[in-house]
Amino acid sequence: MPQPREVLSRYLEQDQLLLNRYRLKHMIGEGSYGAIFKASDLVNGEIVAVKALPPSLDSSSHTALGRFQREMSIIKNLVHPNIVALFDYGETPQGVPFMVMEFVQGKTLEQHVRHNPMDFESGLDVFYQIASALAAAHQKGVIHRDLKPANIMVQGEDGHYRIKMLDFGMAKVQSELGGEAMVALTREGMAVGTPRYIAPEQARGQEIGPYTDLYALGLLGYEIFTGIRVVNRDDIEGAVQMHVSPEPLPLPELHKVPAQLRPILKKLMQKNPVHRYLHAEQLLHELDQLRREVRMINRGGLQPPQGFHPPASAASRQAPAALDIDYEKLEQAQRFEQSAKQAQEAHRQQLSDGMYTPITLQRAEDHQRGLIVYFEFLIAPVLALSAFTLMACHIQLESNLLRGGVCAFPLLIGALAGWLLKDKFPIFSGVRTLNITSILLFVVAHLMGISELKTNLMLQPAWYLRAFKDVPGLAQLYQGIEMVAHRYVEVLSTLF
């Protein structure tokens, strides 16, 4: 099978003009699907990169074209100083699709740190820039899925580095970008990525999220400071097995990583996604704090010591032994409480004096009862959906239909019981007993196991809507449930 270089040489040549603006120079890179050319922009005189793809001739070419279009659509909507920029795109008369991108002069992170790790301050800055690019992509609903040193370009020298993240052809888009539907390239659950840097849930074909990219970022961080890969297996099976194994990844050179970064990298490389950072903003917050500490030390003319750690969080600091009590505010609170008691007593006195008629009181009670019923109806769908989702985390059946029926059955029984009892016991109603049942199931789901609950909430919170996630309206509900589930996992991780 001819290589992309050979095919493209038939359609593109040196000094060829694209879009009456970009003049090709020579090929500077080649991949399994296409090639990259250096070119000059005749309008502003700048050097650009032109990524081109051979014409679509067979099924594999159609797959490559889909990835090419996906990458183009993604980069067009991702504007960030650490993500390669897209300037233009088009197609030659011979059917060669191409995109004009920012030309990045430098070396890949792989070339830069192989057996030549970065010092503390430079490495921290590069690590922060990669995390910042991921955060920008994740905010747009884009999961890179193929983060590796070869996809990170490093510009500059002498510690003043600027990184550019490349190759979004394997990315997964969790929402539409700029109102454009993305090309579907991989079926749900298919494992994609580079074996040395693939996350466990990604290797198993499970649901992925921002935490998947953060796992790969942890592996990159280890390389930045040690110059050594965490997974150094050349065979695909052996590399994947190291990720999916329950055993922690071996980190024999961890002592070379600055002490204050070791817990951060360990958290990023946790096999269970629940135990990692759930999104890049969490990581950036810790790195920001660490960078401030480094700047403070450098301003004092000192170098960060080997055992230097970021300051303890406010929650870990010891509380003062004595409290400074504001007695004036305390007296104001006591006077307010006394006034409230007097107003309540006056209200009771008015009732006893007959100022409120029975009809007026009945109307007030009916109004109050109506508000309670309205509130119960309002929260019933939220409580029922929450209980259903949490119980489903513990009930794993091959048939999704059977799984949904088992989880919904207690809720239906609860609602039916209230409907049957409402004539004999007016305090009950279908909605009220449904809410009570939902609350009980909510508690039971937590008692059945917090760890399993967190894991399944992270990987597949809205499994029952997966088949409909492209339907307008349901797509937003699917994304909303995922977002709420991930935030709830953060709360559980903090508490337990």
Catalytic residue among 58, 88, 146, 353: 146
The sign of the dihedral angle between the CA atoms of 139, 140, 145, 148 is: negative
- 248 contact partners, CB below 8 Å, separation of at least 6: 269, 271
- 75 contact partners, CB below 8 Å, separation of at least 6: 83, 84, 85, 86, 99, 101, 168
- 397 contact partners, CB below 8 Å, separation of at least 6: 403, 406
- 14 contact partners, CB below 8 Å, separation of at least 6: 24, 25, 26
Six-digit token pair at 370?
Answer: 């109506």
Helix (H, G, I), strand (E, B) or coil at 41: strand
**Among 7, 390, 458, 431, which Cα is nearest to 214's?**
458
Q: Any idea what DSSP says for residue 83?
A: B
Question: Is 146 marked active-site?
Answer: yes
Where are the alpha helices (H) located in 2-78, listed in sequence order?
Answer: 4-8, 59-77
CB 299, CB 121: distance < 8 Å? no
- 170 contact partners, CB below 8 Å, separation of at least 6: 67, 144, 145, 146, 192, 193
Sequential DSSP letters for 410-426? HHHHHHHHHHHHTTT-T
Six-digit token pair at 181?
Answer: 């539907």
Q: Which residues are catalytic?
A: 146
